[in-house]
Amino acid sequence: NQENGRNHRRKATFERDSGAGVTEGRRASVVRALDVFMWAVAVHDWALTDVLIHVTKNPVRCGLLASQLCRAMSDDAGQDEDELLQRAEEFETKARAILDAVPTSVAVRGGFLFAESKAWGTSLLGMAWTAEHKLFLCHPHCVKLVGLLSHRSALLRLVKDDEKLSGFWLVLASLW
């Protein structure tokens, strides 16, 4: 558009969820790939979701969120329940496939699954547990992490009961 001899352009570029600046005149807003991805899920633009899931900061979280949204939309009488439940399973499967590419050391001991997101207030494992993403929770990385956490909590209970060995056990538990 030309206005008073000047070109006014709307620019939008996507960056990995750090937010892409969209400027129009003097106003600026932030567009995140996650926001557009979730919108694409809401309007059933499956081709766009296939592209955007790979440009988000955390595609695993996006897959789990999309699965949750599809399940929630399938409860609406005006929606195609079978298609949405199928899409929910596909998004959960995509999240699981992305997790396959993460080395065990990073996923289990590096905090990928258990580190709490400041923005979301929960870890990937906590999110999957709360939303009952059973397929995702059966992934070997998740199973191993839950096993390690249960052993660690049992070990920490032993430490509290045995004051003589508490220093040794605390050091051992911290290495887990």
Q: 75-114: per-residue pLDDT in tens?
A: 886 778 899 999 999 999 999 999 888 888 887 776 788 7
> Strands, E, within the chain: which ranges?
2-3, 6-7, 20-24, 27-31
The rounded mean pLDDT for the chain is 75
Q: What is the pLDDT of residues 51-76, one digit of tens each?
A: 999 888 889 999 999 999 999 999 88
Rounded to two decimals, the pTM is 0.68
| Most confident segment among 18-22, 29-33, 56-60 | 56-60
Residue matched to tokens 């590096």: 110
Q: For 73, left (φ over 0), alpha (ψ -120 to 50), or beta?
A: alpha
pLDDT higher than 80, residue 168: no
Q: What confidence score (pLDDT) does residue 129 get?
A: 85
- Decide which of 72 and 145 is more confident: 72
Q: Which 8-state DSSP code applies to residue 11? A: B
Say what the alpha-carbon torsion angle 129, 135, 136, 142 is, to the nearest 10 degrees: 80
Q: What is the mean pLDDT of residues 160-172?
A: 50
Give the H or E element holding residue 174.
Answer: helix 166-175
pLDDT band at 49 (very low <50, low <70, confident <90, very high): very high
Whole-angstrom distance, CA of residue 174 vs CA of residue 96: 28
Q: Which two tokens stand for residue 161?
A: 């009961």
